Amino acid sequence: MMKLIKGRKYNTDTAKLIGVVGEQQKLYSKRTGEFFLYFVDKKIVPLSFDKAEKIVKEKLDKKTYDNLFNKNGIEKVTLLLDSKIVQDARNEAVARNIRLNTLVEEAICEYLNLKNV
């Protein structure tokens, strides 16, 4: 089932089923990382990250929770970036003798005004 809510598409056929969280509720995640609940009466409710985390913690097993919300590990992320930016980033990483992912982490932390991990 697909619904458009506030300009955002929610589709149970293309989203990943995380688990059944109630008698008539299923939790899904989109490839964008967004979560939503699907109710058997064909209702879809978008969820904030925090709300989804709370539901998974309360309703599903620890392994599922750790896979989705483990904050103490590493996570693989695929990014599509302009080739020139990637080459410049690689050159900078080599010049600084660090790995490319370290450079990207530093840049994201700086942009978000966070302490480096």
Q: What is the pLDDT of residues 10-19, one digit of tens each?
A: 999 999 999 9
- Does the pLDDT of residue 50 top 90, yes or no? yes
Query: Model pTM?
Result: 0.66
Whether the Cβ atoms of residue 44 and residue 36 lie closer than 8 Å to each other: yes
Question: What would the two tokens of residue 66 be?
Answer: 């750790």
Q: Tell me, what DSSP letter sits at residue 115?
A: -
Predicted confidence at residue 71, as pLDDT, reads: 67
Q: Is the dihedral of CA 49, 64, 7, 108 positive or negative?
A: positive
pLDDT, the chain, mean: 91
Estimate to the nearest angstrom the gap between the alpha carbon of 25 and the chain centroid. 21
- pLDDT for 21-36, tens place per residue? 988 999 999 988 899 9
User: CA 92, CA 87: separation in Å to the nearest integer?
Assistant: 9
Cα angle value 87/92/97 (rounded, 5°): 125
